[in-house]
Each structure stands twice: as structure tokens, then as C-alpha cells.
Amino acid sequence: MERTTIDLWVGIFVALGVAALLGLAMKVGNLTTDDIGEIYSVTANFENIGGLKPRAPVKSAGVVVGRVADITFDPATFEAVVNLSVDKRYHFPKDTFANIYTAGLLGEQYIGLEAGGDEVMLKSGDKITQTQDAVVLEKMISQFLYNKASEEPKETASAAVSASTKSGDDALGSSPLDDMKKPVAP
């Protein structure tokens, strides 16, 4: 079969396409950071996970050490069970603290691991007992409003009391004098 220039051009075209796809996969997409290699999985229970999603990063000291594998709901304890896939190269003590943080003010949520001081390390299938829930913005705002609301009535009440005592004093102080003056004057 003889080769033609058309074959050459189509070959170049296909090669360019494959190169662009590889470029998209490696440089643009997160295919490279996706495969962490060998992992072990630990679980953590949270009362509220906020907006945490599967495949969210698990970070320790800001370094990605794993990913959230899946999130399920435990109907017995009414808690969220988060399955974490952690890179096998990194080991964490048994009393590691798992927090749900938010990247930036409105960014994606991730799990931050803070290592404890235990001698025993977490093994595959273990459970992280010390967890801290996600900060839910609505909860924070409502708490703030509640605190504000509980402060305000005290102030207004004390102001009202002081005002009433003042007016009472005035009433008490002024009227007898007037009464005293009136009979005296004529």
C-alpha cells in the first residue's frame, strides 16, 4: 500500500488530537492528582457535614493526603458517616482530630486532619472519634441574631425602668411642691 500526503496530514491531525486530549487531561484536568496510589480508608462521624461532597480533598497541614470516598447517613445515630481514603504513605495517630473546613469564605469544603499525640496509628477501617462539624452559615447568623436579641431586651428594659423611676420621681417630687406652693401663694 502506497503512502500518500493525505495519510501524513491525517496522521498529524490525529496525533495533534491525542496530544490535545493528553494536555487537557494532565494540564487542565485533575487526572494526575486523582490517583493517590495505595490508600487505606477510615471513617468519621459528623453531626452535620454542611456542603461536603464525595471526592472532596482531605488535607493535613494544607497538603492533600486523601479524598472523601463516600458519604452515607446512619439512621441509628442520625449522623453522617464519611468514608475517607487516605494515602498509604501517611499515617495518623489514633486521636487525630477531623474538622470540616471551608476554603475561603464561600469556597469548597474539605476535611482537615489535625494529628494528635497518640502512639497507636490509625489502621484501615478505623474510626476517627474526635470530629468537628461544618460551620453552617445560617446557624452562625441565627446564633448571632439570637445573641443580639437576648442582649437588647435587657437594655431596653433597664432604660424603661430608669425612665419610669425618673418620671415617678418627677411626679412625686414636683406635685407635692406645687401642691405646697398653691395653698401658700394666695
Partner 1 sequence: MIVNSRLHLFCTIGHRFTQRIWRLGAGARLFWLTIISSGESFRRFHLTIREVYFTGVMSLIIIVVSAFFVGMVLALQGYNTLQRYGSSEAIGVLVALALVRELGPVVTALLFAGRAGTAITAEIGLMKATEQLSAMEMMAVSPISRVIAPRFWAGVIAMPILNVLFCMVGILGGYLVAVPLIGVDAGAFWSQMQANVDWRLDILNGVIKSAVFGVACTMIALFEGYDAPPTAEGVSSATTRTVVTSSLAVLGLDFALTSFMISI
Q: Which residues partner with 145 through β-bridges?
A: none
Size of interface with partner 1, in residues (CB under 8 A): 23
What's the closest the beta carbon of residue 59 comes to partner 1, in angstroms?
12
12 near partner 1 (CB under 8 A): yes
Q: Residue 109 and residue 82: Cα distance in Å, rounded?
A: 13
Closer of 23 and 153 to partner 1 (Cβ): 23
73 near partner 1 (CB under 8 A): no
C-alpha dihedral sign at 52, 58, 60, 62: negative
Stretch that binds partner 1, among 21-29, 41-49, 158-166, 170-178 (CB under 8 A): 21-29
Q: Name the pairing type of β-strands 97-102 and 130-132.
A: parallel
28 near partner 1 (CB under 8 A): yes
Q: Residue 169 and residue 181: Cα distance in Å, rounded?
A: 18
Closer of 33 and 175 to partner 1 (Cβ): 33
Closer of 59 and 94 to partner 1 (Cβ): 59
25 near partner 1 (CB under 8 A): yes
Burial letters 64-93, b for 16+ CB under 10 A, else e: ebbbbbeeeeeeeeebbbbebbbbeebebe
17 near partner 1 (CB under 8 A): yes
Contact 42, 91 (CB under 8 A): no
One-letter amino acid at 48 equals N
With 0-12 CB in 10 A as exposed, 13-18 as middle and 19+ as buried, what is 131?
buried
171 near partner 1 (CB under 8 A): no
10 near partner 1 (CB under 8 A): yes
62 near partner 1 (CB under 8 A): no
31 near partner 1 (CB under 8 A): yes
- Residues of this chain that interact with partner 1 (CB under 8 A) are 1, 6-7, 9-10, 12-14, 16-17, 20-21, 23-25, 27-34
